[in-house]
Amino acid sequence: MAESAEANPARSLSDLQQAVDGWIAENGGYWPPLSMLARLTEETGELAREYNHRFGAKKKKASEGEAELAMEMADVLFILVCMANAEGINLDSAFSRMLEKLRVRDAGRFSSMGPG
């Protein structure tokens, strides 16, 4: 049985991928690719809705509960990890390549923008 995140916190994307893979193996396997894409779309929509409620013009109704922004982000990350695992993608390697692309191709491009 895979250890919980609290018992063994992930220290890298590869660790996270292994933890998710263990959980998936115990819980029926990966969904088909288009089902995972639909789930990613659903989870991204939930994250967007929470951002809009917190920072946008569309405020929540009084009857709506507060969603935890961190959990909405974690839901998106979980399904992205599932998709990567199902396709045999090493996210540590992919993320490193993406950061290098930003460092080289986009050097100085965003420096004048500042945070948020």
Place of tokens 């540590």: 92
Q: How far apart are the C-alpha atoms of 94 and 16, rounded to whole Å? A: 14
Report which of residues 66 and 3 the model is more confident about. 66
Please give the pLDDT value at position 30. Answer: 98
Place of tokens 């929509």: 45
pLDDT tens digit string along 48-87? Answer: 999 999 999 988 888 888 789 999 999 999 999 999 999 9
In order of their start, the domains of the chain are: 13-105 (1.10.287.1080)
* pLDDT classification of 116: cutoffs 50, 70, 90: low
Q: Evaluate if residue 44 carries a pLDDT over 60.
A: yes
Q: What per-residue confidence (pLDDT) applies to 25?
A: 97
pLDDT of residue 46: 95
Q: pLDDT by residue (tens digit) across 79-114?
A: 999 999 999 999 999 999 999 998 888 777 777 665
Look up residue 32 and give its amino acid: P
Nearest to 84 by CA among 23, 26, 18: 18
24 in Cβ contact with 82 (< 8 Å): yes
> DSSP class of residue 29?
-
